[in-house]
Amino acid sequence: MRKLAAACAGFLALMSNAGSRAQPQPAFDREFYFKMLGNRCLDFGGEAYWSIGSPVFVYTCNGSVAQRVRVRELGDGTHDVELRVRDLYCIGVRGRSRFIILAGQLELQACDKSPRQRFALDGDSILAGRQLSGRVTRDYAVQPQGGITNSRTPLAIAPREVSDLEYFRAYPVDGSDARPHSGFVFVSTEAELDSAIATGGWGSVIEIDPRAPFRIASNDSKFLKAGSTLRGYRKHAFQGPEVFRCSTSDAPAFRIWEEDVRMTGFQLTGPSKDRCPGYRDTEGDIPAIQAGQDQVPDQPLPSEPRAIVDHMEIRGWHGTALTVRGAGPSRDYKVDDDYKTDCEPVPLPRQVRTRAIGNFFHHVDLYGVNSDRGAYALAQGNVAYRIHNHVITSDGAKKSGYAAYDNLFVNPSGSQELDIHGTLHPTSWDAGLAGYYFDIGFNTALGRIKYYNGNTRPNFFLRGTPCLRVDLHDNIFRRARIFAIASNSLDPSRLVQSANIFGVTNALNVAADGLAAALPPLSETDVDADARATFADVRSFYGGGEIPAPFRVIARDPVIGTHQAHVGAYMKMFDRPDLSRGEIAKRVRERLRPQH
């Protein structure tokens, strides 16, 4: 355990010092190690085994020649690269076609400059794509075949999901600070960020300085370009760099209008009095990120862009963390209100273009993810806490919808976490149409009682009648069904419920309801003994590192308790007395493990 803790400490030191060096010089042709999690590296075997068709696989990192990948930038303005083995071979995708084949394994090939030997690097992924325009799109990523990370598991092409299976960091063999291509730019100020966005293009990777938060003061949105990545390296207990905004503008801090944009791995904080001199609270909607364009008179809108917002912490916004805006009209309570006459068919399955994956949304005063004007967004693996209105919602526009999977809601207050607006009765939006299709599954809602404007709210509320249906399945609700689910649908058959679990209770309900504040104070003896031992057990499940951010933020909230140790003791008090501290810690891990 000591060795593991030391390894974690070393990794965190590397992450936290990522910005303490000078501006990195681009490496156009240099050898790198590609490291996964769990001490696994990209490997192609010893030199004696190199030949055309030899497999490329994962193996324990050892610094040998079998793991030294020569990254050669193609120099055509795309920042795409070849992955070579010295001057002898190129790594490519197996198959008879010269193009990328989904599920195709990586192998050593004779270099022929074909699309199957062309890759893109965005800081923590090896990307491949259809390359219809001659550059690597962001459709596919390299990962161990079958999701197995045992040594010698072949590497293959799979649909991109920004999961840990796709996590590959490039480390220069020579120990320098070089990046794998010339598109990497390091920024420490708003001016540098503006310059990097303006001068960058397809394949650019903008790395945010983690040494100190930097402020965005402009009232104008930052428009991210096609194929670009804005990133930190948030991972494990390292929380990533922070960008905070000081503006009362109702323009989103960031706009994504173009294709294949990614925002990942950093903290994005809204304005506050303590950090923004002269700032005054506003009743306006100040959003963090908007994917999709606003309506321009007499001009058709494109659909929502193909974009990913992942593994971020978005907090402190008087607005929506992420709005996904489609090409359709907004809800119109004067026209589209009858599910029998006003709906239009939409091709199925719905194509997901904008995705919010593995984020931590908290202390947001409106919504977490909002899908509107015909958009169909994906919200997956997010943790949400203290969202004033809804964590995931949609307007009632007749083509709007969303897919919500694997999310964890631990709100102690606010309105329903899962929401679908109607098109009638402005402000309440509790009748009329309610979008087109919604797939909501594998989520956990721990809140017990929801209050909004003095009224009790459920965990899920269908406020109108969908044009097709809502599939609500395989979710866990702490509350009984009658309190967890509500529907105003005029056609009950359009809310399809299956395999949901209701009335579940466990130690974390203390945090969900804020009951810890009513418990008697702990003595120093309690804090030193049971509580600290409990948190030591929790840390052991995280490899000896710090407890992940969502747990720590909840623990510090004054409604629950001002000290992590208090929450640890409360968990022990409220859980079954026959469970050991290790079992309690295991349950905490299973419920609050973030997608970092």
Give 472-522 pLDDT, tens digit per residue: 999 988 888 888 899 999 999 999 999 998 877 543 443 433 333 333 333
Is the pLDDT at 442 greater than 70, yes or no? yes
Give the helix/strand (H/E) hosting 13: helix 2-16
Predicted model pTM:
0.81
**254 and 229 Cβ atoms separated by less than 8 Å:** no
Query: In the predicted model, what is the mean pLDDT of residues 97-118?
Result: 87
Mean of all residue pLDDT scores within the chain: 81
C-alpha neighbours within 13 Å on the C-beta side of residue 572? 21
Is the pLDDT at 526 greater than 50, yes or no? no
Residue 297 has a pLDDT of 53
The distance of Cα 550 from the centroid of its chain, to the nearest Å, equals 13
Look at the alpha carbons of 340, 344, 348, 350 in this order and tell me if their dihedral is positive or negative: negative
Burial of 521 (0-12, 13-18, 19+ CB in 10 A): exposed
Instruction: Name the architecture of domain 28-172.
Output: Trefoil (2.80)
Is the pLDDT at 554 greater than 70, yes or no? no
Rounded CA-CA distance 499/519 in Å is: 35
SS (H, E, C) 33-87: EEECCCCEEEECCCHHHCCCCCECEEEECCCCHHHCEEEEECCCCCCCEEEEECC
Higher-pLDDT residue of 128 and 24 is 128
Higher-pLDDT residue of 593 and 227 is 227
Residue 54 has a pLDDT of 97
Residue 273 has a pLDDT of 82
Higher-pLDDT residue of 454 and 107 is 107
Burial of 525 (0-12, 13-18, 19+ CB in 10 A): exposed
Query: In the predicted model, what is the mean pLDDT of residues 262-281?
Result: 88
Query: Smallest Cα–Cα separation from 209: which of 193, 223, 195?
Result: 193
Residue 4 has a pLDDT of 36
Percent of the chain with pLDDT over 90: 58
Rounded CA-CA distance 216/84 in Å is: 40
Residue 580 has a pLDDT of 53
Residue 402: other Cβ atoms inside 10 A: 28
Residue 294 has a pLDDT of 79
Give 39-67 pLDDT, tens digit per residue: 999 999 999 999 999 999 999 999 999 99
Give 124-163 pLDDT, tens digit per residue: 999 998 777 789 989 999 999 999 999 999 999 999 999 9
List the chain domain ranges. Answer: 1-26+183-286, 28-172, 301-504, 515-592
Query: In the predicted model, what is the mean pLDDT of residues 540-565?
Result: 42
**536 and 568 Cβ atoms separated by less than 8 Å:** no
Residue 487 has a pLDDT of 95
In this prediction, residue 413 has a pLDDT band, given cuts at 50, 70 and 90, of: low
Residue 283 has a pLDDT of 58
Give the helix/strand (H/E) hosting 571: helix 564-574
SS (H, E, C) 86-148: CCCEEEEECCCCCCCCCCCEEEEECCCCCHHHCEEECCCCEEECCCCCCCCCCCEEEEEHHHC
Rounded CA-CA distance 211/232 in Å is: 11
**110 and 89 Cβ atoms separated by less than 8 Å:** yes
Give 348-364 pLDDT, tens digit per residue: 899 999 999 999 999 99
In this prediction, residue 292 has a pLDDT band, given cuts at 50, 70 and 90, of: very high
Query: In the predicted model, what is the mean pLDDT of residues 384-403?
Result: 92
Query: In the predicted model, what is the mean pLDDT of residues 71-87?
Result: 95
